[in-house]
Amino acid sequence: MALSPRVPELSALELLLAVDRHGSVGRAAAELGISQPAASARIKGMERQLGVPLLDRSPRGSRPTPAGLLVVGWARRVVEAAEALDAGIDALRGRRDARLRVVASLTVAEYLMPGWLLALAAARPETAVTLRTANSAAVAEQLLAGEADLGFVEGSRAPAGLAGAVVATDRLVLVVAPTHPWARRRAPVTAAELAATPLVLREPGSGTREVLDRALAAAGVTATPLLELASSTALKAAAMSGAGPVCLSELAVADELAARRLVEVPLTALDLRRPLRAVWPAGTRPVGPARDLLAFTKKN
């Protein structure tokens, strides 16, 4: 239902209430931060709109007419309702800004997110953050279902239905246990050799698996899975036990390579670089704590 053209604007009603409090258009104008001529013009415009005089003006000040007193009473209820609405909106915004739901792929969650969340906590100590981990496909599902405010995925492109921004780059590496025959070879492993060897792989739907499958497909071959596991920790444990070669993020294996618990095997003619992306539903933009977290990712 549209408002009647006879209903004054909220600012005009606030001015009328201020005149009633102060008994003066000038003092009411000063309270509201407008000039006296502007206040007088606003009152006269409201009188024309309503079709009745609202103020008795004299050298001693301005007082509401009998009709003006009625309008003052109605205006007070309208302004109080508007103030309650404004307070409610602030409360809603405060609750929204006091929480942040993040869902991230395992590599981002384990190796990059801790630093970003520490920076966010320093800037927004009042924000409660929940962080869930999922593969890239599940990250997209949760964002599109409204179950998360910001997501992070691995892979060559953002999942369908999501917009995003690249926040870091990563590279997959092929690693084996020091006892594996490939640990001592000098010649790089070819795509054909890699595809012909049973591998310990991430599950379908993960960003790591998507990058490897895409690189092998570009070389005209397909990976042969020996095991499919759902975390980098499980993959590293399988590799160190000698189960077979593993292809995963260099971020995930940095400590193991430095300690020689795993050995990197050189590869030839395979592009295993990948962007790491912050993502959100297409047609929207991150706001509040989600926007702040996104800003911290770009500073690192």
Report the pLDDT value the prediction gives residue 97, as an integer from 0 to 100: 56
> Could you report the per-residue pLDDT of 156-186, keeping only the tens digit for each?
788 889 999 999 889 999 999 999 999 998 8
Domains of the chain plus CATH, in order, are 10-95 (1.10.10.10), 101-281 (3.40.190.290)
Q: Note if the pTM is more than 0.75.
A: no
Q: What is the pLDDT of residue 262?
A: 96
What SS3 string covers the chain?
Answer: CCCCCCCCCHHHHHHHHHHHHHCCHHHHHHHHCCCHHHHHHHHHHHHHHHCCCCEEEECCEEEECHHHHHHHHHHHHHHHHHHHHHHHHHHHHHHHHCEEEEEECHHHHHHCHHHHHHHHHHHCCCCEEEEEECCHHHHHHHHHCCCCCEEEEECCCCCCCEEEEEEEEEEEEEEECCCCHHHHCCCCECHHHHHHCEEEEECCCCHHHHHHHHHHHHCCCCCEEEEEECCHHHHHHHHHCCCCCEEEEHHHHHHHHHCCCCEEECECCCCCEEEEEEEEECCCCCCHHHHHHHHHHHHC
Q: What share of the chain in percent tops pLDDT 70?
A: 94
- Across 17-26, 90-99, 173-182, 250-259, least confident range: 90-99
What digits encode the pLDDT tens for the residues 8-26? 888 889 999 989 988 999 9
For 47-66, write each residue's pLDDT tens digit: 998 899 999 988 888 999 98
